[in-house]
Chains A and B, each alone.
Chain A
Amino acid sequence: MSEESIFTNKVKDLYKILCQTEWNATVAGILVGLFSVLIMAWWRPWGAVGAIRNWGDWILYGIAHFSGAEWGFFGEFYDEAPKGILMNSGSVIGIGFVAGAFLSACLGNDFAIRIPPVLEMCKGIVAGILMGIGSTLAGGCNVGGMYNAIGNLAANGFTMWAGLVAGVILGLKYIYWEMEHISWGSGGARTIDFPYAVKVILGIITLAVLIWGANKYAVADSDYVASLCGILVISAALGYTMQRGRWCMVQGFREPHMTGDCTLAKSVALSIAVVAVGAAVLKYEVPMRADGEPVLATINYVRGTFGWGSIVGGFIFGFGAMLAGGCGSGTLWRVGEGQIKLWLVVPFFGITNSIMTNYFRDMELEASGKLGSYVYLPDVLGYTGTIILICAIMALWYLVVTWNEDSGKLIVEM
């Protein structure tokens, strides 16, 4: 074999590793943690709800604008246009994330328009509404309310966690029941696939648009808009990584109770520990750096939902995510993969979250402590205590799920 063909083979192997094979869960978990810390260092933590709510705001504003509806919440909250989807940092995170997932799905030949059976579409709508309610109560979805909340050393992340576990178990029981009792709506499934060459071209176009978009943001006059360049790129990296690793948090919560498999549970635990250490570095007031000003305000992503808000919210969100087959982030990368069921989840998630968030803000439910309290863990335990607590809980979770993988004690039987 000539040296050139050896090199060509190595290039092909590299392409396969980067773009086609499924990434190992541990690698994906560490990368997601790394990108989560990077986007925090850049500007702000990422989340799925910020995007989904902004899109929901636009849907409701559109309805109010074109139908002239002024009754109830339409007149109260939607008479003025929300911030543009390309100008709101939350929305740009969502767009970058979906684009990254789409790019990965195209290059890996996973993309296809997948139209699910009718029952699944109905479940998607109900799931979207439940996830909208849950994420409002908890102050975020599994990302902003749990993953990045614990990562940002906020106590409300742990309470949402507890709610999520209970919601996921109930959701699993419901699905078992549904398989026995509901036979309606199993028809209508269709898959529209495209030739691989078309997907590769779509992928290259997406990549080009991402690069062009980031550079366009970078030269904007407004500081806010100029900062969006890194947000777009890092969130695309998150979407790419999660699709390539099929990294789904709700699966991490569900699998130990469904099949006993704990691959993703372990990966999520590791990833949270990575983010927590990163956030401690960014939020710590290092005396030598910038006169002791922390890079990130300590209150960033600490929500006033440490209490019943995040427990009940997590429960409703977890149940909804089971019906959807994806959590906040899992829903978005599956959107990029062409799963129509998740395309239905997003608008209903967004509309519900938008309306509820506006009412909650209007009535100052979070600020007045009705949903729970704001607890930044280092204020209570110090940084040492907080990092020890987070790592200890992740280690405990690791032990529980690996013990369960062999003993099967936590598996919910059919």
Chain B
Amino acid sequence: MSDIKQAPDGLEVARTLDAKGLSCPMPLLRTKKEIEKINSGEILEVLGTDPGSRNDIPGWCSRSGHEYLGEKEDSGFIRFYVKKK
């Protein structure tokens, strides 16, 4: 993956998934499941610690049509933002 995409500030999050501590492939599978619970146009926030997610989540978004908004680094974990198609 090339440079890391930073998420814009002030995103309105509809749902948050805590996937901290989970390793490949669990964060992506849980994201896939969780996104079913929000409506089109709403934003899912995923909290994760697996470095693999930096690749998996944007890659999955581009295949499944959801919009990957970027990530924000927090203390000890990363917040990923996905807008449902």
> Residue A414 at the B interface, CB < 8 A?
yes
Chain A residues with a Cβ closer than 8 Å to the other chain, count: 36
From B30, B51, B63, B76, A337 is in contact (CB under 8 Å) with: B51
From B25, B55, B63, A325 is in contact (CB under 8 Å) with: B25
> Residue A82 at the B interface, CB < 8 A?
no
Q: Which one of B25, B26, B49, B55 has the greatest number of beta carbons of chain A within 10 Å?
A: B25
> Residue A314 at the B interface, CB < 8 A?
no
- A190 near B21: Cβ-Cβ < 8 Å: yes
**Which A residues contact B (CB, under 8 angstroms)?**
21-22, 110, 112, 114-117, 120, 175-176, 179, 188-193, 246, 248, 251, 254, 258-261, 263, 325-326, 334, 337, 339, 341-342, 405, 414
Chain A nearest CB from B84 CB (Å) reads: 16
Chain B residues with a Cβ closer than 8 Å to the other chain, count: 26
From B21, B30, B63, A120 is in contact (CB under 8 Å) with: B21
Question: Could you count the A-B residue pairs with CB atoms below 8 Å apart for me: how many are there?
Answer: 78
> Residue B85 at the A interface, CB < 8 A?
no
**Which B residues contact A (CB, under 8 angstroms)?**
1-2, 20-26, 28-30, 32-33, 49-52, 54-55, 59-60, 63-64, 76-77
From B21, B26, B32, B49, A414 is in contact (CB under 8 Å) with: B32
Chain A nearest CB from B66 CB (Å) reads: 12
- A116 near B22: Cβ-Cβ < 8 Å: yes
- A22 near B20: Cβ-Cβ < 8 Å: no
A75 to B52, CA, bound (A): 44
Given contacts A260-B63, A261-B59, A254 and B77 within 8 Å (CB-CB): no
A115 to B50, CA, bound (A): 11
